[in-house]
Chains A and B, each alone.
Chain A
């Protein structure tokens, strides 16, 4: 059997190829669902901004359906929504994504997963991508989410929560910390 090829860092010089012009515009005006803006920031173990990262996002549409042949759930596909985003961090270590809030997605067995976005972090110094999830603070379904409940130190679940902007509805803030006392929960897939 062949073995999986070994990961390597994207390094600092990927910008001529990987970023896409429309990478942060995941939703179009006609996309069904609640439009949201995610302002993300990415910090190292000393809370310094990481200004050379790439972030990829993958999510279901407003009906909780993924645009992929393996998702045969009844929810309708939205032709205006692929569900994939790719952005790079700026000088402040931040990025902006315009998308829609995903619907709940079936989990394993009879479980349901709260609305969430799969997040991959790539950067110089990150040999293998870091995988995490973005959830929405205050969402009642979070309480029964099977993945959140895998995080045994309950206070660390906070690191997976995007927080609503106190002033502007539909705006969410999400901070990724690659180390330090408030290190984000990362997953092995």
Chain B
């Protein structure tokens, strides 16, 4: 029997390949139309990772070094769901971000802002059976980039998620509500629909906020979901 395919991309949710406002796309975007790949066993399978990929403190970016890093401590938590609203359990999430001064722990980031010896900015975790995850980190700073005159990235955290198959892979960026830089940012603005962009905003959450420790932000991630199940498809046929 053929595998149950995933839904195809919903129009308006995904950035285009070529987006000249983000200059680097010009030489790095295919111009021939993409060919629709049927969802065979190769596409509906994918790597599954366990605890062996994690080290202690991977989910707490403020405890990975001798001292606490500088910056506003915060809790980022949420759920990974699919397009059908079902939780995605036991999936690997990886995050990376700049420090509170807007500098990455990275040899190619040579901007004039301080490195923090107590902050590398990388985290990993697995979602639980309800698709939940939770990181402790510090609020990333703004950083300038060379894309255009006076270009600044809004504060953001990069998220990488696998989901249950090759198709469900997702790498996105989490932003903060009310960030004044959002509308000037060609990467954020490359997501066509307003609903799609809104979904990338973390929301302040009082419930997640920890007394005397840090503010909480909620950020849910939605991966591609299955098309109709064979049973449902059968229903349509009658």
List residues of chain A with CB under 8 Å of any chain B CB.
1-18, 44-46, 48, 50, 52, 56, 58, 60, 66-68, 70-71, 73, 82-84, 105-109, 113, 116, 118, 120, 122-131, 133, 146-147, 150-151, 156, 178-179, 183-189
Determine whether the beta carbon of B158 is less than 8 Å from that of A8: yes
Determine whether the beta carbon of B108 is less than 8 Å from that of A13: yes
Determine whether the beta carbon of A105 is less than 8 Å from that of B166: no
Among A118, A127, A187, contact of B34 (Cβ-Cβ < 8 Å) = A187
Determine whether the beta carbon of A105 is less than 8 Å from that of B40: yes
B228 to chain A, nearest CB (A): 13
Residue of A nearest to B24 (CB): A125
Binds A, one of B45-53, B69-77, B204-212, B229-237: B45-53
Determine whether the beta carbon of B27 is less than 8 Å from that of A5: no
Determine whether the beta carbon of B96 is less than 8 Å from that of A125: no
Among A84, A126, A146, contact of B28 (Cβ-Cβ < 8 Å) = A126
List residues of chain B with CB under 8 Å of any chain A CB.
2-3, 6, 8-10, 12-17, 19, 22-32, 34-48, 81-85, 94-96, 98, 104-109, 120-124, 158, 160, 165-167, 169-173, 187-188, 190-191, 193, 195-197, 199-200, 220-224
Inter-chain CA distance A71–B106, complex, in Å, is 39
Q: List, sorted by A's number, 11 A–B pairs whose CB atoms are closer than 8 Å.
A: A2-B85, A3-B222, A4-B170, A17-B94, A18-B96, A71-B45, A106-B41, A120-B166, A127-B15, A150-B37, A188-B9
Q: Which residues of A contact B124 (CB under 8 A)?
A: 17
Q: Which residues of A contact B3 (CB under 8 A)?
A: 70
Inter-chain CA distance A127–B17, complex, in Å, is 6
Q: Which residues of A contact B222 (CB under 8 A)?
A: 2-5
Inter-chain CA distance A34–B42, complex, in Å, is 20
Given contacts A58-B46, A178-B29, contact A127 B187 (CB under 8 A): yes
Q: Which residues of B contact A13 (CB under 8 A)?
A: 96, 98, 104, 106, 108-109
Determine whether the beta carbon of A68 is less than 8 Å from that of B35: no
Determine whether the beta carbon of A46 is less than 8 Å from that of B39: no
A24 to chain B, nearest CB (A): 15
Determine whether the beta carbon of B85 is less than 8 Å from that of A1: yes
A12 to chain B, nearest CB (A): 6
Inter-chain CA distance A132–B87, complex, in Å, is 28
Residue of A nearest to B48 (CB): A68
Given contacts A45-B28, A107-B40, A113-B40, contact A10 B2 (CB under 8 A): no
Determine whether the beta carbon of B29 is less than 8 Å from that of A68: no
Determine whether the beta carbon of B38 is less than 8 Å from that of A184: no
Q: Which residues of B contact A122 (CB under 8 A)?
A: 171
Q: Which residues of B contact A130 (CB under 8 A)?
A: 17, 30
Among A1, A10, A58, A66, contact of B158 (Cβ-Cβ < 8 Å) = A10
Inter-chain CA distance A82–B47, complex, in Å, is 7
Determine whether the beta carbon of B158 is less than 8 Å from that of A2: no
Among B13, B19, B95, B165, contact of A6 (Cβ-Cβ < 8 Å) = B13
Among A6, A116, A147, contact of B191 (Cβ-Cβ < 8 Å) = A6
Q: Which residues of A contact B84 (CB under 8 A)?
A: 1
Inter-chain CA distance A45–B170, complex, in Å, is 25
Determine whether the beta carbon of B27 is less than 8 Å from that of A44: yes
Determine whether the beta carbon of A3 is less than 8 Å from that of B10: yes
Inter-chain CA distance A83–B95, complex, in Å, is 23
Inter-chain CA distance A106–B42, complex, in Å, is 9
